[in-house]
Every structure is written in structure tokens, then in C-alpha cells.
Amino acid sequence: MIDASAALRQGLLGLSRSKAVRQVIEKAPVSRDVVRRFVAGDGTADCVQAVADLVGDGRLATIDFLGEDTLDVAQASRTRDAYLTLLQELQARELTASGAAEVSVKLSAVGQALPQDGEKIALDNARQICEAAATAGTTVTIDMEDHTTTDSTLGIVRDLRADFPWVGAVLQAYLHRTEADCRDLATEGSRIRLCKGAYKEPESVAFQESHDVDASYVRCLKVLLEGDGYPMIASHDPRLIEIARSLADKQLRAPESFEYQMLFGIRPDEQRRIAAAGNQMRVYVPYGDEWYGYLMRRMAERPANTMFFLRALATKG
């Protein structure tokens, strides 16, 4: 039986792909303050300034130009070009030094879902983004999407790492396969972001109840922190963060050998506390006008955000 929070999460994840609901939400009188709690503006300048503020405050950043499931070659190229421009602007503002600001890329946004040569197009576009990141002195992390793309995404990561060994990958603890993937990828220099997962997945491939997902997350954490790679611990859960800290201490992990990650607009005071304690704290910063799917998944990940958003829909103009 699925608990109430899991049922709410599944419902919200279903809505994240609903075109009808999307049209209603996007046309609702939501103030910019509501969206900007989670999204750092529509354009490059807004995003770069938000990143500058984070870096100035002692935090790090990884930036996502919003968009996914692209089925148009020209749109995939525009997304690639947006990243190229972003990296140039970050370098010009000296925000890429020592990897303070890097980028996160969804392969479906740069062509993976195209019906013909999708993987090749996505790989070519991602390689150009990696080349620009290398020029800027920073790195790229390849985001993970729903389970049907996992093998394709990890294959593209392997291809990219042949030329850019610092390319990061994302693994999702709610998938049954992830502990084994962690063991395969916890190698020297391998940058792995571990998150819970934010897509609606069937029971055949993913844990459905929150306590099972948490247990999987801890098992995966142990594998990554015991390995030779660079774990990126993406969670807002205080209990999981404390477990991660304890496991890192047990493995005598130096602060620069791993990092914590949280989302833009979620628990900013805790982000500052973690950074002030001498840890690396990276903030996932989305920007762009394709915010709907991203925002709905944030609601699903943390149900407390749902009431915030619904109140805003009702009261903000």
C-alpha cells in the first residue's frame, strides 16, 4: 500500500506531464516572486546574477537551462547555444574559477528524444557544451531523467568521459538498479550526484514508498563514500544529511573530496549553515521560461512546497 505522501507525490508527478493542467497553471496570475523562489529568472543575465550572489555567499552552483523532451532539432540546438552563452558569461564574471559554477544538462533537452539519431545529436551537443566548459575552466554534470533513458544517458556519459573525464553523472536512489550502478561508477575521479529521483516510475523498476527510497539512498551513499569517486550528495532531508556527514567522517573524507547539493530556493539557511561549517555546498540553479515540469517535480519531492504554491496561486496577482 502506498502511503499518503507517496500518493500525493505520484499525483503531482503525473500532473508534471499534463498539457491541460500546464496551460491552466501557466495562465494563472502567479506573481514573479512565486516562480523566482525556485527559478532564477528567464534569461542569462538573471541567472548569472543569482549565481554571483550564491558564490559571493560562500556557496557553489550548478545551472540548468530548463527544458526537456525536445522533439525539434532546432530547439535542441538553441538549448545547446544557451549553455554556450551561459558559460561565456560565467567565465567573464569570473564565476567558473575552481569550478565554483558549473552546468547541468538534460540530454532530452539537447536531442536525446529525437526520433532519428537522437543519441548522436545529444552526444554532439553535449560534447560542444563540455568543450565550452573546459575552456571556461569548469565542469558539466549530465542530469538523469526517467528510467527509460538511464542506459542511454550512462552510455553518453561514458562517451563524454573519454575526452572529459570530469563529466558528472546522476543516479536516482528510487530505482532498484541504482546500488549496482553506484558500485560500477564509484571509481577514481568519477563525479556522481546521488538524488532520490523525481519522475513517476512503475513499481517494477522503482521503490514506491518513501522509507524504501530512503533506505536505498543510504545504501547508495555508503557505496559512494567508501569508493574512490567524488560523491555529490543531493538531499534536503536533515536525517539523510546527518547520515552522510557521519559516513563521510567514518571514511575520513576530506571536505574537498565530496559535496552537498540542494535546490535553489529550498532551505537556503541550511545551505548557508553547511557551507559555513567548512563543507562544499552546491546549489542547483534552474533558469528559463520552461519552468512548469521542473516546478511540479519540486512540489512532488517536498509536499510542503505544494501548500506554498497553492496559496500563491490563490492570493498573488
Of 52, 55, 46, which Cα lies nearest the Cα of 93? 52
Q: How far apart are CA 251 and CA 240, in angstroms?
A: 16
Cell of 95: 564565476
Q: Which residues are catalytic?
A: 143, 193
If phi > 0 it is left, if psi is from -120 to 50 it is alpha, else beta; for residue 36 that is alpha
Inter-helix orientation angle 304-315/292-301, to 10°: 130
Grouping H, G, I as helix, E, B as strand and the rest as coil, residue 40 is: coil
Residue carrying the nine cell digits 546521488: 194
Residues near 112 by Cβ (< 8 Å), separated by ≥ 6? Answer: 118, 119, 121, 122, 149, 152, 153, 156
> Counting Cβ atoms within 10 Å, is residue 18 exposed (0-12), middle (13-18) or buried (19+)?
middle
